[in-house]
Structure 1
Amino acid sequence: EQHLYEIYIFVTLLIFSIKNISVNIATWGTPVQSTLAYNWYAQNALDGLSFKKPSSSCSSTDNQTNPWWRVDLSSVYRVSRVVITNRLDCCPEKIDGAEIRIGNSLENNGNNNPICAVISSIPAGVSSTYTCNNMDGRYVSLFIPGDSRILTLCEVEVYGEVNNSPHTVLARI
């Protein structure tokens, strides 16, 4: 038991001695989306498999008004950038016009939070990076305003500073 405590202290000190770490914090979160098309679940956008089998490794909503996808990071993080990977097989326009929103509110499913960026388009199979200037937030949402829209995401990565709470950091190890 004493040995485990010493390891805990060592790991805690090691983590806090490293400054400005940027990690993909989305993988720690819980994703949800407004609707489900086929088996294109929200968590597929966090699986790291965007180029292997697009039909089983992307998320997609049904055709609807104002589709959205959101990840709950469980804590507030300072988000530096968001990387979005579009599907490779077809239909790259299903991301066009998506707003990346970051904040702490679930009002309107998180879609009223401040905008980090608006995606004009991403070519098929390409990953695009959007700088968020260290926006603070627990929720990262992608939202396409408008009627008869479909939101498809093959990978979402959220990079930010590791929270300085030892409980949060050590829970992630």
Structure 2
Amino acid sequence: MEHSPWWRVDLMGVYSINKVTIANRKCCGKLISGAQIRIGNSLHSNGNNNQLAATIWSIPNGGTETYEFKPIKGRYVNIVLPGKRRILSMCEVEVYGGE
């Protein structure tokens, strides 16, 4: 267990992101509840203070959810689970957008 565990992808360039799809593991579905999708160009606080795009409230075990939002420009896409003694668990993340 960690304090505010996170996952990040570096897109190696600035893009206009408008959709993120997350596939959950077949077990442990509730572990992702409350996670935030954050997008931006800063690595301050590991990028976990970048603009909030969406909050993940629930993804069923083995399920996939897509989060669509107004385009946000950024190089980094973070999934962060705020709080103490948390475990961030997910299977796959897909990021969509354009230049």
Equivalent residue, structure 1, for 2:2: 64
Equivalent residue, structure 2, for 1:81: 19
State the percentage of identical aligned residues.
55
Q: CA deviation at 1:94?
A: 1.3
Moved over 2 A (4+): none
**1:116 and 2:53 matched:** yes
| Aligned-residue RMSD, C-alpha | 0.7
Equivalent residue, structure 1, for 2:43: 106
Q: CA deviation at 1:132?
A: 2.6
The structure with the greater share of residues assigned to helix is 1
Query: What is the TM-score of this pair, normalised by structure 2?
Result: 0.97
Which entry has the higher C-alpha Rg, 1 or 2?
1
> Matches of 2:11 and 2:95 in 1, distance apart?
9
Query: What is the TM-score of this pair, normalised by structure 1?
Result: 0.56
Which residue among 62, 84, 87 is the counterpart of 1:147? 84
Stretches of structure 1 that go unaligned for 5 or more consecutive residues are: 1-62, 164-173
The structure with the greater share of residues assigned to strand is 2
Equivalent residue, structure 2, for 1:125: 62
Summarize deviations over 1:110-155 as a string: whole Å, max 9, x none: 0000000000110011110101311100000000110110001100
Which residue type is aligned with residue 74 of structure 1?
M
> Matches of 1:130 and 1:118 in 2, distance apart?
9
> Matches of 1:68 and 1:130 in 2, distance apart?
18
Aligned length: 99
